[in-house]
Amino acid sequence: MKKTIVAASAAGLAALALYPVLIPNPYYIHLFETILIYAILLFGLDIVVGYTGQVSLGHAGLFGIGSYVTGVVVFKLSLPFWLAIPASVAGAALFGAVLALPALRVTGPYLAMVTLAFGTIIQILINEMTFLTEGPMGIKIAKPLVFGQKLSEVQYYYMVAVLMVISLVVVHRILKSNLGRAFEALRDSPIASDCMGVSVYRYKVYAFIISAGFAGLAGSLYAYSEEYISPNTYNFELTILFLLAVIMGGRKTRSGALIGALIVVMLPSLLADIELFRKIAVAAAVLGVIGAALAVARKRSTLRGVLVPLIATIGMAAFSFKLENIVDWRLTIFGLMTLFVVYYLQDGIVGYVQSLFGRAPSHTKSLADGSGAEPFPRAQGGAAGSILLNAEQILMQFGGLKALNQVNLNVMQGAVHGLIGPNGSGKSTMMNVLTGIYRPTAGKVSFGGVVISGSTPSQIALGGVARTFQNVQLFGEMTATENVLVGLHNTFKSTMLDVMLHTPRYKREERAARERAASILEFVGLSAMANEEARNLPYGKQRLLEIGRALGLSPRLLLLDEPAAGLTAPDIKELMAIIRKIRDHGITIILIEHHMDVVMALSDTVTVLDFGQKICEGAPATVQCDPRVIEAYLGGGGEEHGGTKAPMAH
Ligand SMILES: Nc1ncnc2c1ncn2[C@@H]1O[C@H](COP(=O)(O)OP(=O)(O)OP(=O)(O)O)[C@@H](O)[C@H]1O
């Protein structure tokens, strides 16, 4: 695996170096240079689109800012390229931060519209600010001067190639680091990210800034490459083209960005020549037949599943020989191809090829050995028996509904505190109030003597409160190890520079985190599934992984929201053993559970809620026999509440 990557990288570098020698035609050198420039932008766009899962239709605008910062500082101030290029990166990054603001408030189609408006405004501004940008006239700039010598087309090609390789390495390092894991985590579950101490707010802004920085670099290089820039270039079509390139090539891979860039740069030229188009259509049909045969043979698809793409590719090849002139059909064919890719190749070309050969999309790092590393330190602070968490007079109102009504809760250091009640009694609401997801309408929560109500979920998480969710909230596309590594995010002190340069500090932290992750997985019995994507784990194991991820925070308090829900009897036994082990490590636990046998066996104290009010509290044996509790459960509709057994049944 590693050997294949080294061989592919060496071949890629050799191809980059030899291209101008083998194909000295300046037109083709310029074309390839454009592909490399677009690839730089797509590396960055993939951070936002592929990793954080946000839609950005503003990247043509950021690309334009990159070009125009260079254009203006060269044209007006005669700055050298080594100042103009960083200025473009910084300028675009600044606007990236501006673009991130709407992303913090809206998602999906709304974000698409806002970012689209951003791109349009940038284009209009470039057009209108003639005093700076020369407006529709555009700006002419020459190739960079190095030691007083203007770079030739080939020399400039090498400069772009080197910057593309550096960008690729930097982006790859960022995305494989704790930063990249944070980006992916906020895509899969923003709420879980926040509760792991990974602030969605902060990392969305980081993603947009980094992504915009690469758009700025690409824009600057493009300005030097074309030697002329005008506002028309940075239009709506370009932004759509960028987005399609990421999707077509395959998100979350650098090779996908390169293939995407190749396609979008080459496609207009390919669709301009009927002879060439026929050859390509035939090649696509042949590849389609081979791909379909492979997919059926490897049982990755059925004959029915491959029928439509097969007919489409063969149909396109046949149709190409009927056509006299391709130019009128260009946009239609382009649209159909896009539709085809989006519908049938959702993981892009790279994802499709990888699935054919049965390889998981990314995740190449093998599991570190966890032996020796402590899964998590013993919880510190507070003597056993002292109050760790205190919730006072909590009122949580949703409109007219009082989901929690003047609830008091004291949780003792080192205890397992059960929280039970019929469906809708307010248990999960309490969990959300304690972890900062809900701000209580009235009342106060203190943890370790510090008031935490009003703090953000990530602040509370970093303060030592970890949780799991009633509906499992894992980061589905990430492996079990990576999920736990997100929990360990706060163990990293490395800066982005450390990540980019792979400094000893970053390497040390990454190694230590991986060792910790391995030992946590061992602790929850998931070592064998360490490299499996979370979404592919059996349900019971997913619940254990959520606990493991929460343990990554080294919490003092762990809130478990119905951890046994949906588990089989052997899984429940395993879960109970794990909860006991966690308690033995000095971690205080709040346990919401409908399985009364689990609550009664594990809890030191049990609090019972009904209709948002605390109706009883005490030792399990006492609570079980309390008439108010029996009434609440029986009055709530009988002995079962979605798997609930009435307390007195045990
Ligand atoms: N965000 C919200 N907006 C409006 N109502 C809410 C919200 N969250 C909870 N509720 C309401 O608050 C009440 C308590 O819900 P909650 O989920 O806390 O109960 P629960 O005890 O956890 O129930 P279950 O055992 O079914 O999970 C319910 O009536 C619920 O509909």
Q: How many other C-beta atoms can be found within 10 angstroms of the C-beta atom of residue 130?
A: 11
What does each C-alpha distance from 424 to 428, 431, 527, 646 come to in angstroms? 9, 13, 36, 15
Give the type of residue at 460: I
Q: Whose CA is nearest to atom 29 of ligand 1?
A: 424
Banded pLDDT at 553 (limits 50, 70, 90): very high
pLDDT of residue 642: 39
pTM, two decimal places: 0.85
* Distance separating the N- and C-terminal Cα atoms of the chain: 54
CA atoms within 13 A on the CB side of 275: 0
The answer, yes or no, to whether residue 453 has pLDDT greater than 60, is yes
Backbone dihedral region for residue 53 (phi beyond 0: left; psi -120 to 50: alpha; all else: beta): left
E strands present in 478-598 = 557-561, 588-592
pLDDT of residue 300: 74
pLDDT of residue 337: 73
Q: Read off the pLDDT of residues 306-332 as tens digits, 9 standing for 90 and up.
A: 888 788 888 888 888 887 777 677 667
The answer, yes or no, to whether residue 514 has pLDDT greater than 80, is yes
Domains in the chain, please, with CATH? 53-252 (no CATH), 387-478+536-649 (3.40.50.300)
Report CA(620)–ligand 1 centroid distance (Å).
24
Pocket test for ligand 1, best of 191, 427, 645 (most atoms within 8 A of CB): 427
**Closest ligand 1 atom to Cα of 644:** 25
List residues near ligand 1 (CB under 6 A): 398, 401, 403, 421, 423-429, 470
Q: How far apart are CA 113 and CA 484, in angstroms?
A: 35
Average pLDDT in the chain:
87
Give the type of residue at 348: G
**Closest ligand 1 atom to Cα of 430:** 18
Q: How far apart are CA 497 and CA 96, in angstroms?
A: 19
The answer, yes or no, to whether residue 359 has pLDDT greater than 80, is no
- Here the tokens at position 582 are 């966690």
**Closest ligand 1 atom to Cα of 609:** 21
CB 620, CB 420: distance < 8 Å:
no
- Here the tokens at position 482 are 């990576």
Q: Read off the pLDDT of residues 413-444 as tens digits, 9 standing for 90 and up.
A: 999 999 999 988 999 999 999 999 999 999 99
Q: Read off the pLDDT of residues 60-91 as tens digits, 9 standing for 90 and up.
A: 999 999 999 999 999 999 899 999 999 999 99
Q: How far apart are CA 124 and CA 236, in angstroms?
A: 12
Report CA(611)–ligand 1 centroid distance (Å).
10
What ipTM does the predicted assembly reach?
0.96
Q: What is the DSSP letter of 641?
A: S
Q: Read off the pLDDT of residues 252-294 as tens digits, 9 standing for 90 and up.
A: 889 899 999 998 888 777 777 788 888 888 988 898 888 888 8
Q: How far apart are CA 369 and CA 530, in angstroms?
A: 11
Type and span of the H or E element at 372: none
Report CA(398)–ligand 1 centroid distance (Å).
9
Q: What is the DSSP letter of 196?
A: T
